């Protein structure tokens, strides 16, 4: 069966263009001209993924997302915002409500398809290998701009600085108040590894590793486009190699 995409967009020409582009790529597409209509369409014909504009009259994209995430039948559906305004405040609000991705207008067909396929692939992986409930799924973080609920799968690097716990996330660096020992034992071990006493790394940040000195190894990480190094003690080396190979 073709992948069913629901497009919620109040501008008629943009809505029409999206429908035509997606149909040409083999997707099944339904569309709604406003938030209320989009919610109704989603309930009537649950889609595989939702593309939704943010700035719409009466019921904006944030309200649509809240409604979708509180509906048990639709809560799991990947939700991608289409927006002409993509500043940090918008990103933070959408991520807090449970948005899966953002596409900033104007965007091309390649970007659109890549976003859809990426979110569907992640959803399929979750369905094939659901995480046990004992793993931490979200963490409350805060910075100078306020508090935010962070999805742990999007956390890249946990570390201790001046006896305080922090996390590098896709949206920035946040202080957290979860004990480091709890993180080490209750984060998903298929994604995270405790490299040393003061750092926990996400699998996708590891670029390479090399012998350093006195039996220790240096891990070369890339975190949100920035290079980072972490020291791996000799006692953790075999566990690290096994984890990396899984």
Assigned domain for 238 exists? yes
For residues 186 and 234, state if they share a domain: yes
Of 94, 128, 162, which residue constitutes the final position of a domain?
128
State how many domains the chain has. 2
Of 81, 101, 128, which residue constitutes the final position of a domain?
128
- Nearest CA to 93 out of 68, 62, 71 is that of 62
For residues 195 and 229, state if they share a domain: yes
For residues 173 and 229, state if they share a domain: yes
Instruction: Report long-range pairs for 228-237 (Cβ below 8 Å, ≥24 apart).
Output: 228/157, 228/168, 230/195, 230/196, 230/199, 230/201, 231/195, 231/196, 232/195, 232/196, 233/196, 236/194, 236/195, 236/196
CATH number, residue 89: 3.40.50.2300
pLDDT the model gives residue 55: 87
For residues 180 and 101, state if they share a domain: no
For residues 124 and 23, state if they share a domain: yes
pLDDT the model gives residue 38: 95
For residues 209 and 175, state if they share a domain: yes
Of 128, 149, 174, which residue constitutes the final position of a domain?
128
For residues 123 and 163, state if they share a domain: no
CATH number, residue 161: 2.40.50.1020
For residues 176 and 199, state if they share a domain: yes
- Core vs surface per residue 72-85: b (16+ CB within 10 A) or e: eebeebbbbbbbee
Assigned domain for 133 exists? no
pLDDT the model gives residue 121: 85
pLDDT the model gives residue 231: 93
216 Cβ contact partners less than 8 Å away, ≥ 6 residues apart? 231, 232, 233, 234
For residues 112 and 175, state if they share a domain: no
User: 84 lies in which domain range?
Assistant: 4-128
For residues 96 and 146, state if they share a domain: no
103 Cβ contact partners less than 8 Å away, ≥ 6 residues apart? 51, 80, 81, 82, 83, 111, 112, 115
pLDDT tens for the 246 residues of the chain, in order:
789 999 999 999 999 999 999 999 999 999 999 999 999 999 999 999 999 998 898 899 999 999 998 898 898 899 998 887 655 556 666 666 777 888 888 888 888 999 899 888 887 776 665 555 578 889 999 999 889 999 998 999 999 999 999 999 988 999 999 999 999 999 999 999 999 999 999 999 999 999 888 889 999 999 888 899 999 998 898 899 889 887
CA angle 211, 160, 171 (to 5 degrees): 100
For residues 104 and 55, state if they share a domain: yes
pLDDT the model gives residue 84: 74
How far is Cα 158 from Cα 136, in angstroms, rounded to an integer? 13
pLDDT the model gives residue 128: 67
Contact by Cβ (8 Å): 50, 8: yes
For residues 20 and 61, state if they share a domain: yes
């Amino acid at each position: 069966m073709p992948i069913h995409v629901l497009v919620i967009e109040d501008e008629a020409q943009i809505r029409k263009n999206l429908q035509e582009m997606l149909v040409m790529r083999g997707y099944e597409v339904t569309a709604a001209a406003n938030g209320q209509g989009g919610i109704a369409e989603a309930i009537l014909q649950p889609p595989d993924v939702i593309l939704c504009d943010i700035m719409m009259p009466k019921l904006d994209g944030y309200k649509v997302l809240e409604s979708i995430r509180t509906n048990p039948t639709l809560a799991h559906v990947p939700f991608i915002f289409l927006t002409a305004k993509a500043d940090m405040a918008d990103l933070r609000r959408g991520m807090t409500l449970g948005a899966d991705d953002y596409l900033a207008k104007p965007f091309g067909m390649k970007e659109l398809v890549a976003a859809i396929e990426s979110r569907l692939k992640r959803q399929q992986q979750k369905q094939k290998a659901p995480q046990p409930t004992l793993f931490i799924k979200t963490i409350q973080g805060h910075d100078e701009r306020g508090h935010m609920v962070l999805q742990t799968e999007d956390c890249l690097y946990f570390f201790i600085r001046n006896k305080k716990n922090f996390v590098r996330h896709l949206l920035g660096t946040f202080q957290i108040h979860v004990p480091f020992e709890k993180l080490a034992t209750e984060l998903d071990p298929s994604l995270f590894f405790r490299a040393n006493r003061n750092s926990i790394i996400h699998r996708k940040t590891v670029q390479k590793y090399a012998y350093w000195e006195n039996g220790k190894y240096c891990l070369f990480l890339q975190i949100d486009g920035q290079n980072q190094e972490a020291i791996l003690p000799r006692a953790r080396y075999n566990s690290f190699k096994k984890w990396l190979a899984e």
